[in-house]
Structure 1
């Protein structure tokens, strides 16, 4: 792997998203009294923040092992952890969680030399996480409201899940058709191997179900410790509404309008929780403390890479796409 050169395009994206986060935070601080937000910080004991950070790191060790379940046993556990935390570290300087996924995939490719498998696993892993978040959010709404609204959301989520599964099963057939329709399109060999990788994963439903269950456990842990921060900050919100709102805010944070969700996550979370009587300034304070947890975990990932002598390096896109 080679060090990623300074890219004006990446810098421009970073600046645009940083400006988006700055604007969102400015609006939040204008709408909500700063003293109330600061009180949320002050009300949270330092040991609670430290415990949340420790559990967050442990949860991501579990997330790394979940990713390795899809990659297979030829991915060493030590490399798995380094790659996963390299992705967390990359989120400190790259725009969006997808940047971290790219770094993680590049390190996996350097070990496995199988670009199609790495790409297929990255896509499936991300989709499974999103479906798990939607299911948890629907469950939270059902338990928070306890009436037909929650049931309707559950049914809609199941429909989405069915469509995702159908699309996943259809991918091995659909991908090769692209080159039949457009024979001059490059990377046909990669596309065919990518279809084969999806086919191999689709042939292992027990593995996919296990990964989904593992993802659900990891997400429940993350939701719970984020709620712990909110309770400590004085948000005054019960767990079930939080279970409904937090996954949606996390999904919204992926939108390319802010720097790793900074500002957008807090605004979305406060908006979803207001109907449940949550104290908005404390919710924002908890969200900002969560951002601090993310940055601290990313810094830890960078230290792990430095201590193992690897540094934060990036594989070239060509190394993944051309591995045939």
Structure 2
């Protein structure tokens, strides 16, 4: 494995101090919201969600994970990797479990990369497939931004006009630009594989939309059970905004940041009651964790072969 791929594989094992601080800050903000809205009110709203609705949302979450698997498998197949659906499902769920329960030691992408290397795939192809998987996922979510950004633009303008926001935004923007530059460079270097077989990208994008629909359905039925009037399209638009907030690498797996951003966006721009928005964010995190549990059954397949030397 070359130096670049080695760095990619080892990167998830390093826990940045700033990311740890960001995680703790996000959790602290979420706890602050919890007590600001009232713990009793939060629990009352939580209990108003019927078990049947929660289980339905869990089914939607599993289906969304199935679509994520199809997205990655479409990219692998287009790159000439003949992986079975069963094997892809096991690797995706192993990665999800690692992301949700082992975020400080190993990332989900690292687990999937190790798995595909064991599948006799070249390291460069494995890294490229994971990178394209993220790219296609982001493109799918970005299609809703033309409706989402105008909703929050007045708030963004007010934020820019505050005196304390400028140094924060300069530092954040600098980091975003630097990471974006490296990200785009990586995309350009690897996208050639799929430009020769564009059907892979088309199928992956269709699977992404399937993943989005099932994720939005899970959130929508939960909000409906709490008597919150919000359209399915609004749910998707606000969710896409929260998605891009959690992509900012300031928290471990978006912990705390996702909950706070979902609560803020659905409350201020979706007309959802604050306590209902917080319940939604909490339950969606729980659904993600429950949906990743099957990965624990297969994780030993990876850990038993960590010492192997990959090809490429």
Aligned equivalent of 1:266, options 259, 262, 270: 259
Q: Does 1:218 align with 2:226?
A: no
Q: Is the 8 A contact 2:18 2:250 kept in 1?
A: no
SS in structure 2 of the partner of residue 277 of structure 1: coil
CA distance in 1, matches of 2:303, 2:278: 31
5 Å-filtered alignment, 1:141-290, equals 171-172=188-189, 195=190, 198-273=191-266, 274-290=268-284
Structure 1 residues 42 and 102: alpha-carbon distance in aligned structure 2, compared to 1, 3 A threshold: same
Aligned equivalent of 2:135, options 96, 102, 127: 127
Q: Is the 8 A contact 1:21 1:257 kept in 2?
A: no
When the two structures are superposed, what TM-score results if normalisation uses the length of structure 2? Answer: 0.74
Structure 1 residues 207 and 63: alpha-carbon distance in aligned structure 2, compared to 1, 3 A threshold: same
Structure 1 residues 256 and 314: alpha-carbon distance in aligned structure 2, compared to 1, 3 A threshold: farther
When the two structures are superposed, what TM-score results if normalisation uses the length of structure 1? Answer: 0.72
Q: Does 1:37 align with 2:42?
A: yes
SS in structure 2 of the partner of residue 112 of structure 1: coil
Q: Which residue of 1 aligns with 2:301?
A: 310
Structure 2 residue ranges without an equivalent (≥5): 1-8, 153-179
Aligned equivalent of 1:114, options 100, 109, 122: 122
User: For 1:224-259, what per-residue CA distance to the aligned partner results, in whole angstroms no more than 9, with x for missing partners?
Assistant: 211211222344322222111111112222333334
Aligned equivalent of 1:52, options 43, 50, 57: 57
Structure 1 residues 62 and 243: alpha-carbon distance in aligned structure 2, compared to 1, 3 A threshold: closer
CA distance in 2, matches of 1:204, 1:168: 20
CA distance in 2, matches of 1:170, 1:240: 30
User: For 1:161-213, what per-residue CA distance to the aligned partner results, in whole angstroms no more than 9, with x for missing partners?
Assistant: xx99xx589824xxxxxxxxxxxxxxxxxxxxxx5xx3221212222122112
Q: Does 1:102 align with 2:96?
A: no
How many residue pairs are counted as aligned between the two chains? 269
CA distance in 1, matches of 2:206, 2:75: 13
Q: Which residue of 2 aligns with 1:75?
A: 83
Q: Which residue of 2 aligns with 1:293?
A: 287
72-81 or 253-262, which deviates more: 253-262
User: For 1:273-303, what per-residue CA distance to the aligned partner results, in whole angstroms no more than 9, with x for missing partners?
Assistant: 3133211110110110111111111222213
126-135 or 56-65, which deviates more: 56-65
Structure 1 residues 105 and 234: alpha-carbon distance in aligned structure 2, compared to 1, 3 A threshold: farther
Structure 1 residues 56 and 123: alpha-carbon distance in aligned structure 2, compared to 1, 3 A threshold: same
Q: Which residue of 2 aligns with 1:62?
A: 67
CA distance in 1, matches of 2:296, 2:243: 23
1:27: Cα distance to partner?
A: 2.1
Q: Which residue of 2 aligns with 1:181?
A: none
Structure 1 residue ranges without an equivalent (≥5): 146-162, 173-194
Q: Which residue of 2 aligns with 1:191?
A: none
Structure 1 residues 76 and 231: alpha-carbon distance in aligned structure 2, compared to 1, 3 A threshold: same
User: For 1:76-133, what per-residue CA distance to the aligned partner results, in whole angstroms no more than 9, with x for missing partners?
Assistant: 222111100001110123338x921221122112113311111111111101101101
CA distance in 1, matches of 2:303, 2:289: 15
